[in-house]
Each structure stands twice: as C-alpha cells, then as structure tokens.
C-alpha cells in the first residue's frame, strides 16, 4: 500500500499549496495591511513545509521504491506521472547545496527591492551588481542541474518541458523575418485607425457589469469562481471548483478591463475544466506556462479581438456606456481595438508587436546564461535591439531594460513561454477549424461554449498528465510551427491596414 | 535552545490555525460553492496536522523537559504560560482513547445533520437518539478527564477556566431572584414603548455606510480589519493586524446590522489590541469565551444601547435613512431600541431577558451531565422552564429545545459564558467609572476611544497571559459579582418602563 501512502503524501502537499493560494489571493484582494507581515510568516512557514516534503527522506524512499522497486510494478499510470513530477522537483531542489540555495533566496529578495528602486530612479547602475550576482547563481545552478546542448535549455525546461533553444531559434527566426517588415509597413501606413473615442470616460461599475456579462458568455462558471479587482490582474486555480480571476479598471480606457478579463478568463477556463479525478494530485494544474498562456491568448486574441465577437457584443457594450460610441461604426471600433503600434512597454503591446518584445528578452537571456553577454552591457544591447526590431529606442532604463520584474527574482527561461503560448494558440485555432469550420459564426451566435468544449476535450481535461509538446502533437498532428501565427497576423493586419 | 525549539514549534501550530482561519473566513464570505468540498479537505488536513502537533511525542518531550527538567529552569514567564496552555490541550486530547474520539467526531457530524432535519420538521424525536449518544460520550469523556466537585465543572473549565458550578449557581440564583419579577412587571406594564417605526424600510447600502461610520467612531482599525456580509455574523482574529468582522442586513429592521456590528466590533477590538509581542504564540487570543463576550456585550449594551450614544448618533442615523424617523423623538427612539419583551428565541432576546434564556440551558446541561435529567424528557423540561422564567411556552420544538445548534455538536459548557460575559461587562463598567467618571459624556462627545484605551490597558493587551478570573480580580478588585449587572438592569428598565 506504498502507492496509497504516496498518494496521501502528495495530497497533503497539494493541501498546503491550496491554503497558500487562498492566502495569496486574499492578500491581493483586500487583506488589511497591518496583518500582512504575520500573514507572510504564515505563508513562508507553509511553503517551507511543502518544500521540505518535496525533498524529504520519505519522498526519497517513495521515489526509490515506486519508480524502480517491487512496489512500483503495479502502480497506475496517474501515479507514474505523479512520481515523475515529484522526481523532477526532487532533483531540482536536491542538486543545489542547501546553503547556496538559502543565500540565493536572500539575494533574490534583496535584488527585487534594488530593482524597484532602480526602476523608480531609472538607474540601471543601482540594479547591476544584484543582477550580476543573480546571473552568476543561475549559471552555477545550471551546472549543478546539468544540461543538454545549450545551457539555457535547462532553464527553458522548467517552464516549457521539451522545448529547446534549437526549436525557439528556428521559430523566432521565422517570426522575425516576417513580422519585422510588417511592423515597418504598418508604421509607414497612411490608413491608421482613429482611436480617440477609446479613451472617453467609461464608469468602472459599468465596466464591471459588462465584464461579468462577457465572462458568462465565454463559459466562465461563476459557481466555480469569482471576479475581483486588483492592481495586477491574475487568475488563480485553487482547485477546479474554485478558479478566481481579477481585473483592473481604467475609466479612461475600457480595454484594460475588458481584454484583461477575457485573457484571465482563458487561464481560468483551463483550470476549471481539468478532470475532477486529478484533484488532490500534483497533476491538477496547467501542464506548462506556454500551454497556459495559449489558452489565455486564444480567448483574448482569437475570440476577444475577433470581428464576429464585436458584431455580437458591440451593441451590448454600448448599452453599458451610453453615448461613448454613438458616432463610431462597428468597423471603426473593430479597427481601433486592433490598432498596432510599436511601443516600449511589453505589457502594453498589441498582438502584432508583442512577440518582438519577447524576442529581445529571449536573446538577452540566452546570451547571459551562455556567457556571451555581460550584465553591464544590458542597457545598450536592450536599446539597440528595440531599435532594430521595433524601430523605437527607449529614452531611459525605466522604459527599457528595467521594465520587467522577472530577472530581479531570477526568473530566467520564463519569457519565451509568452510567445510560445501565442504560437500554440494559433496552431490550435487552425486545428479547431477542421472540427468547427463555422468558428466565427459560433462566436457571432454566442456559442463560444462549443469552442470551449473542444478545448476542454483536447487540452483542459488532461492537466499535467500530458506534456506540452505531446498535447501539441495530439491536437494538431505536428510539432511547433510558427507558420500559423505568422499567417494569421499577416492576413489580419494587412486587411486592417489595407496593405497591398 | 530547547525553549527556542518549543517556541518555533508553537509558532508553526499557530501558522496552521491562521491559515485555517483565513479559509473559514473565505468560505463564509463568498467562496464559490463548487470548491467547497475540496477546501474542506484542505482545512481538515491542516487541522489534523495541528492536532497531531498538539499530541505528538515531540510535544510530550517539550512538556516533560521544560515543565520540570533542567532545561526548564530559566525559561521566560511567557514560555511558562505557553507550556501551560499546551499541557492543557495535550491532556484533553490524550486522555480520550483515539478510537473513541474518532467515533465521537463522526457521531457529532451526523448529529448536526440530524438536528438540522429535526429543527426543520420541528420533531425532537428525530434528534433524540443522536443527542442521547452525544451526552453518553460527554459523560464518559468527563470520567476520562477527571473532575473536581461537580462533573459539569470539567466542561465549564474548557470555556471559562476557574469558574465552577458553585459560582454559577450562586450568581444565576441572584439574577433569577431579581430579574424574573422585573420581567413580569414589565410584561404587565402599561408604559410600553412604541416600536413600529423600527420596521420601516432602510436600504442595505445605507445601513452599511452607517455601520462603517459607527465602527470608525468606536475605534475599530480598518487598517487591521474589514467589514463583510454573511448570513451568520462573526468576528475572526487571524492575527492582531487582521481582525475581520461580518454583519447581516435586514432592510426591515436596521437593528440587526447596527447592534450586530457593534457587538462584533467589541470582539474585534479585543483581538486588535492584544500585545504584538504575543503574535506567533498560543497566547495571542482572548483569554476565555466569557471575557471575549464581555467585550462584545460591553460595546453592544453599555455603549450601543446607551442614551448618550444615541444623543450623539441619532441625527447621523437619520441622515442615512431620510424620512424614517422624522416623526420620532430621540427619547422615543431610545426607548424603542431598548424594548424588553419575553420571547422564545435566544438570539433575538433583549438584554434584560437574555440571561434567563441562558439559565434554562445551563440548568438542563448540568442535569444531563450529572445524570439527573434524561434526554427524552428535554422538550417537557424546556417548555416548563420557559414558562417559569419568561412566562411564555414554546408552541413547538423548533421554537423550543431545538433552536440552538450547540448540543448537536457536543458543545456543553459553552452557554454559561454568554451570561458570565454579561456579568463581567457590568462589573468592568462599574470599575471604569472610578477612572472615567464622565463615561456617558465621553460617549456623547465621540470619545469612545478613551474607553477603548482603558479596556486595552486593563484587559485586551494581555491576551491569554492572564486567566479570566485573574483579570476580573485585577480590574475590579473582587470575584464574580452579579450585583452590578442586576443593579444596571433594574435601574435602566425601571426607568424605561416607568415602574415604581
């Protein structure tokens, strides 16, 4: 009954994680500030408990006996996959000397504070010594963990198992070759959409009501979730019966809330529809950062920015903000929300230019980890790359190399998932059309749930029981192919900007 | 170093409890229902972890070595008190055979369901077999735990350490002798206040705003708490920096929300003002049910139902519900909210008749545990006692013996705390007058915080570092004395009902 003991053991680990998840959600949605310090202690204590369980002697015994021993002969397939996840985590945590890891955690925490200050003062020099140390640690960790081919592969593998530098270099190369010229053509276009009406006042409470209506239409289950307001929107899956999303309201730009909500809804639909059988296992989660992002981007881009979606919902939107769009035809509205314009800040980028922001970061990360780029040169390299890909140059570090928090906390290997997710989404979209050729019509008829069901059947339900590239292969019949995203962007933006 | 290990160990136990507290609050304030089952599993798992820590061999070793051993020679006073709390819990949990305790927990859970059904159908017979078993278990547990004098003392001690049947019989006897005749006089009075205006429509959102304004005036710290809405109002102290309260709004009776909020505020002020030094120990809580209730009742009755309070706030109340009280003079309003009328349901009782509801329950509990009353006779006994003390007889069991949940879950010994808290509160009020003779004027001037500071200095800050009767003695210079409550009630209600 060693298998049962193992299942019980993992269940306890997931219980800690769920409790931590509830506390994080609570901290971000209105926990009183004087309780935060003690709450952080509590979260720290539970996290450390879960961490210890993942590297304990008990875990080592489970892995040894169930992976190879007699007891492991008749375990279920689910248990095998659970063991494999535990083994990965065990190796990752055990291979780094405990003292070194502790030093690194302290450094990362200080580094985040230094980054905050550096960004506020727009002064990279304040952050540089911290980032140098972070990069040194990461390089050393890669040596401990080991690597195949490129050293950066080991970091990629943490967020997107199976994806390598070789694959990314290929698809990013294709994207670059066709998107950069397109962006340049659009910048020179004389057919730019009018957008000033987007910035008219739209009361927050009305935006909230419209967001709720849209969530309902997209199939978000309010008996298994709720919508709240936060500074930084997120989705959090506590268990498939409780997947919460948050959004942010800008009364002078309704797009923040609406498209943000649709994006988080995509994440949430993934987690609400993971098979109930996986509850209490370590497989009850999205299978990777990239596949997760593919679901949020699928909903944001292929549904929320779709003409059919607004054909259906533009009239409804108008009811929530009387007067704002009286003088705006549907086609002009559609072109406006799909405006593309090179910009400096990643999180504000449109769907066409967004992948270019990711490429800049990917190339820099890869260079840093392989020792081909030095931290001190980052501002220069960053600015040069922005100029090369987007045709604009940051006027300072706050709007350049200091804009993202990721590196300060040591999150290298994470950025590519954003672009991978986008490519997955386009590839899934192409596959859906074979089964649901009237995709746009379904959206126009308010039958998005049929699309959601397709995604659940092919992707959501599996949680982590399938690896990302396994899902991609099973759903689309091929490996990663940037062509679908490129074709989509080319077609859509040539049409919107009336390019020849 | 053993002392430090012990402190760390207890800190971890309190971390579990805080996490559980956050999840309970979340469950009651809007957690999506489909996630509840799994959330209950998570709470169960963390609870069982905390329970195991309280009875572990590690805990046994701490207790043995720090209570009596060499290592315990130089431990701090706080640590000593922490050990004493741990010892109590250890004994309580260890003395019952594990199997028997498990059976009891399962029974209690079934019993609560049976009680719910019995109450809905107003049929005591459905509940009787469960309650009989619960009482049998409780009687056996008392034998395991041991007792001094009356067997019921052991149960009392869990909620109100130090208080015995002897003490309660004495003070309840005094209360009965003087309150029962007063209630009878009032029932026969021809000077009853008009109250119909209380039931006029008062919009929920306006009640909420007024509640927030009152909370602010009472000194509730919104940076260390928040107000939410629930079916059953409560206060929950997660840590002194995060003490949340909830309330319920009845648009046809504003008293539910206002006085409920003030009551919970009293509980919350206690926990917000426990010394920060006690955070992370098992002493960072109210010292007993009774002292906790003394704080909520102090605010509800001695402040919220005080004439000076309404002299200050009646005009403000009127602004929140335009028109409702235009034809009602302050004096009439004051008399109306202080109406006293014998009623069947404890939680709806006014402050004069409330103690009589508690006495009925106390006498029955004491009789059951001592084998002097049988469960099958409860409906008859209950109804007879209501007739004797309150002059009214329940028409059915739902409005009689089945009204409270407590017994179905085995909570015997809890009810007396409600009345003890009330007596403590009156005794504290008398003591305050020596230091703050202008008590009423402070309230009228909106300086309730001076009163709160007095309570913090004498009561709140200590948490569980002082026992309830120790606090009572230190603050009032004497033991429990029902006289103060009786005098207060006599004076107030003779005045309101213009009795000779």
For testing contact with chain A, the best of B38, B235, B244, B246 (most A CBs within 10 A): B38
Q: What is the C-alpha R_g of chain A?
A: 23
Residue B330 sits at the chain A interface (C-beta within 8 Å): no
Are the Cβ atoms of B19 and A42 closer than 8 angstroms? yes
**d(Cα B413, Cα B416) in Å, to the nearest integer?**
7
DSSP secondary structure string for all residues of A209-263: HHHHHHHHHHT--GGG--EEE-SS--EEEEETTEEEEEE---TT-THHHHHHHHH
CB-based contact (8 Å) between A41 and chain B?
A: yes
* Closest CA relative to residue A354, chosen from A292, A434, A413, A300: A300
SS3 B247: strand
A247: β partners: A229
Task: Note the Cα A279 to chain centre separation in Å.
Answer: 22
Q: Compare CB distances from B15 to A45, A241, A242 and report the shortest one's residue.
A: A45
Based on the number of CB atoms within 10 Å of its own CB, is B112 exposed (0-12), middle (13-18) or buried (19 or more)? middle
Q: Are B265 and B294 in contact (CB under 8 A)?
A: no
The model's confidence at residue A1, banded by pLDDT at 50, 70 and 90, is confident
**Spatial CB neighbours of A92, under 8 Å, sequence gap ≥ 6:** A145, A158
Residue of A nearest to B23 (CA): A22
Tell me what the mean pLDDT of segment A127-148 comes to: 97
* A238:B35 CB<8 A: yes
Q: Is the pLDDT of residue A135 over 90?
A: yes
Residue-wise pLDDT for B389-431, tens only, equals 999 999 999 999 999 999 999 999 999 999 999 999 999 999 9
Mutate to test the interface with B, among A38, A49, A225 (most CBs of B within 10 A): A38
Per-residue pLDDT of chain B (500 residues; tens, 9 = 90+): 899 999 999 999 999 999 999 999 999 999 999 999 999 999 999 999 999 999 999 999 999 999 887 878 889 999 999 999 999 999 999 999 989 998 998 899 899 999 999 999 999 999 999 999 999 999 999 999 999 999 999 999 999 999 999 999 999 999 999 999 999 999 999 999 999 999 999 999 999 999 999 999 999 999 999 999 998 899 999 999 999 999 999 999 999 999 999 999 999 999 999 999 999 999 999 999 999 999 999 999 999 999 999 999 999 999 999 899 999 999 999 999 999 999 999 988 999 999 999 999 999 999 999 999 999 999 999 999 999 999 999 999 999 999 999 999 999 999 999 999 999 999 999 999 999 999 999 999 999 999 999 999 999 999 999 999 999 999 999 999 999 999 999 999 999 999 87
Q: Which H or E run contains B57?
A: helix B57-67
- For position B209, what pLDDT does the model report? 98
Angle at B243 between CA B271 and CA B346, to 5 degrees: 75
What the block records as the tokens of A305 is 């920015």
From residue A101, alpha-carbon distances to A94, A98, A108, A270, A438 in Å are 10, 5, 10, 33, 53
Nearest to A463 by CA among A17, A85, A154: A85
**What's residue A73's pLDDT?**
84
> Are the beta carbons of B273 and B454 closer than 8 angstroms?
no
Q: Which residues of B are catalytic?
A: 264
pLDDT band at A72 (very low <50, low <70, confident <90, very high): confident
Nearest Cα residue to A31 out of B4, B225, B220, B461: B225
Q: Do B33 and A226 touch (CB under 8 A)?
A: no
User: How would you class A327 by CB atoms within 10 Å of its CB: exposed for 0-12, middle for 13-18, buried for 19 or more?
Assistant: exposed
Taking alpha carbons only, the member of B198, B187, B253, B194 closest to residue B493 is B187
Sequential DSSP letters for A417-476: HHHHHHHHHHHHHHHHHHH-TTHHHHHHTT-HHHHHHHHHHHTGGGGGGS-HHHHHHHHH
* pLDDT (tens digit per residue) in A407-424: 999 999 999 999 999 999
Smallest Cα distance from A7 to chain B, Å: 14
Tell me the ipTM for this assembly: 0.93
pLDDT of A69 over the 80 cut? no
Q: Which of A32, A225, A242 is closest, CB to CB, to B39?
A: A242
Specify the CATH class of B118-500 in words. Answer: mainly alpha
- Decide if B53 touches A, using CB distance below 8 A: no
Distance CA A366, CA A381 (A): 13
Residues B282, A381: Cα–Cα separation, whole Å: 55
Using a CB-CB cut-off of 8 Å, the residues of chain A touching B226 are 30, 32
Q: How far apart are CA B340 and CA B251, in angstroms?
A: 22
* For B49, nearest residue in chain A (alpha carbons): A12
Neighbour-count burial of B498, counting CB atoms closer than 10 A to its CB (0-12 exposed, 13-18 middle, 19+ buried): exposed
Q: Which of residues 148-167 of A touch B (CB under 8 A)?
A: none
Cβ–Cβ contact B74 with A under 8 A:
no
A196 part of contact set with chain B, CB < 8 Å: no
On the question of pLDDT at A500 being above 80, the answer is: no
- The answer to whether residue A280 neighbours chain B at the CB level (below 8 Å) is yes
- B27 vs A: CB within 8 A: no
In this model, does residue A333 exceed pLDDT 80?
A: yes
Selected for mutation to probe chain A from B35, B49, B278 (highest A CB count within 10 Å) is: B35
Q: Quick check: A297 contacting B, CB < 8 Å?
A: no
| Among candidates A26, A36, A240 on the partner chain, residue whose Cβ is nearest the Cβ of B26 | A26
d(CA B317, CA B139): 50
Q: What are the residue ranges spanned by the domains of chain A?
A: 2-94
Reduce the DSSP state of residue B108 to 3 states and report it: helix
Tokens coding B429 = 């009020």
CB < 8 Å from A in window 197-226 of B: 221-226
**Residue B291: closest CA among B466, B125, B441, B168:** B466
Number of H helices and E strands in chain A, helices first, is: 20, 3
A18 close to A239: Cβ distance less than 8 angstroms = yes
Residue A62 has pLDDT above 90, yes or no: yes
């Amino acid at each position: 009954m060693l298998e049962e003991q193992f299942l019980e053991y993992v269940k306890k680990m997931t219980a800690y994680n769920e409790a931590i998840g509830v506390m994080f959600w609570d901290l971000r949605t209105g926990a009183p500030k004087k309780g935060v310090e003690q709450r952080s202690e509590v979260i720290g204590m539970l996290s450390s408990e879960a961490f210890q369980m993942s590297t304990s002697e008990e875990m080592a015994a489970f892995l040894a006996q169930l992976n190879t021993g007699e007891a492991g002969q008749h375990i279920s397939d689910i248990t095998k996959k659970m063991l494999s996840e535990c083994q990965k985590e065990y190796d990752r945590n055990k291979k780094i000397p405990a003292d070194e890891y502790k030093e690194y955690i302290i450094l990362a925490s200080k580094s985040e504070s230094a980054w905050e200050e550096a960004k506020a003062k727009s002064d990279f020099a304040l952050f540089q010594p911290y980032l140098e140390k972070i990069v040194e640690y990461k390089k050393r960790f890669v040596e401990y963990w080991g690597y195949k081919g490129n050293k950066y592969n080991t970091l990629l593998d943490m967020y997107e198992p199976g994806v390598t530098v070789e694959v990314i270099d290929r698809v990013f190369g294709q994207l670059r070759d066709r998107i950069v010229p397109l962006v340049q053509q659009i910048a020179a276009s004389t057919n730019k959409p009018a957008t000033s009406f987007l910035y008219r006042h739209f009361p927050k409470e009305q935006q909230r009501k419209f967001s709720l209506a849209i969530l309902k239409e997209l199939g978000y289950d309010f008996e298994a979730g709720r919508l709240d307001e936060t500074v930084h929107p997120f989705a959090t899956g506590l268990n498939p019966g409780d997947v919460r999303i948050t959004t942010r309201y800008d009364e002078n730009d309704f797009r923040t809330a609406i498209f943000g909500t649709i994006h988080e809804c995509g994440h949430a639909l993934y987690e609400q529809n993971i098979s109930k059988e996986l509850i209490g296992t370590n497989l009850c989660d999205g299978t990777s950062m990239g596949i997760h992002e593919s679901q949020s981007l699928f909903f944001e881009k292929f549904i929320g920015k779709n003409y059919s979606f607004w054909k259906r919902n533009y009239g409804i939107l108008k009811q929530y903000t009387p007067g704002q769009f009286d003088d705006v035809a549907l086609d002009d509205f559609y072109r406006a929300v799909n405006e593309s314009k090179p910009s400096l800040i990643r999180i504000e980028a449109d769907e066409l230019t967004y992948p270019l922001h990711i490429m800049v970061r990917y190339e820099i990360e890869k260079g840093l980890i392989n020792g081909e780029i030095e931290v001190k040169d980052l501002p220069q390299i960053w600015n040069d790359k922005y100029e090369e890909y987007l045709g604009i140059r940051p006027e300072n570090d706050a709007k350049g190399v200091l804009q993202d928090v990721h590196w300060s906390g040591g999150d290298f290997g994470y950025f590519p998932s954003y672009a991978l997710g986008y490519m997955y989404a386009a590839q899934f979209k192409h596959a859906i059309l074979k089964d649901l050729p009237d995709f746009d019509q379904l959206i126009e008829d308010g039958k998005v749930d049929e699309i959601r069901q397709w995604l659940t059947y092919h992707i959501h339900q599996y949680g982590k029981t399938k690896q990302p590239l396994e899902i991609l292969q099973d759903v689309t019949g091929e490996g990663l192919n940037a062509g679908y995203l490129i074709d989509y962007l080319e077609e859509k933006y040539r049409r919107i900007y009336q390019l020849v």
